[in-house]
Amino acid sequence: MNRPFWSSSLDFAVGSGGAWSEKWDRWAGHRLPYLLLGLGVVLSHRADVLAPAGAALVWLLVKDLAVPRRWRSHGITLAVSFAGTLTMAALLMYRDPLFLVFMISCFFTALKLKPAALGVLGLAATSLLINTIGSGGPVPALRSSRCCG
């Protein structure tokens, strides 16, 4: 049996597992980012995050409503959607670490990337940002690392 690289582990996440998987895909892919962005705003209690959170909301609406349905599953569209969501989430998390809850939605967006290797790269980028933004971002975190001298 000839299967693509990691097909069995990612196929379930991207919606080939039947009716339940399709419902989860709709929930995680379309509703969860809005819910987690709203939760981040509520938890933050800071007025200076309202404008960036509004920009993130506009981005989510544009990628979900302005892009024609037939283009939404294309690899380039998915990659641009992921990159924009990850950028917005990283900027918000840099302002207030409580926006980690919104950054988590990027894991679900990364699972939709095609090919699977790009999805793994998206998961790695999300994880890298989550783990380094608290110390100023990836570059300062690597510079201050004690493991390299």
Residues 21, 93 contacting (CB under 8 angstroms): no
List of residues 6+ apart from 82 with CB closer than 8 A: 106, 109, 110, 112, 113, 122
Q: What is the pLDDT of residue 72?
A: 75
pLDDT for 6-29, tens place per residue?
Answer: 443 445 444 455 676 677 666 666
Contact 95, 121 (CB under 8 A): no
Task: Find the radius of gyration of the CA atoms of the chain.
Answer: 16
Q: What is the pLDDT, as a whole number, of residue 35?
A: 93
Looking at residue 146, its pLDDT comes to 59
Q: What is the DSSP letter of 48?
A: G
Tokens 């919606």 correspond to 15
Answer with the residue of higher pLDDT: 28 or 112: 112
Please compute the mean of the pLDDT values over residues 65-92 and round it to a whole number.
88
In this prediction, residue 60 carries a pLDDT of 93
Please report the pLDDT score of residue 8 as a whole number.
39
Around Cβ 63, how many Cβ atoms within 10 Å?
20
**What is the residue type of 102?**
F
Q: For 31-42, what is the mean pLDDT?
A: 93
Short-list 84, 106, 99, 109, CA closest to 53: 99
Mean per-residue pLDDT, 65-83: 85
What does pLDDT average to over the chain?
81
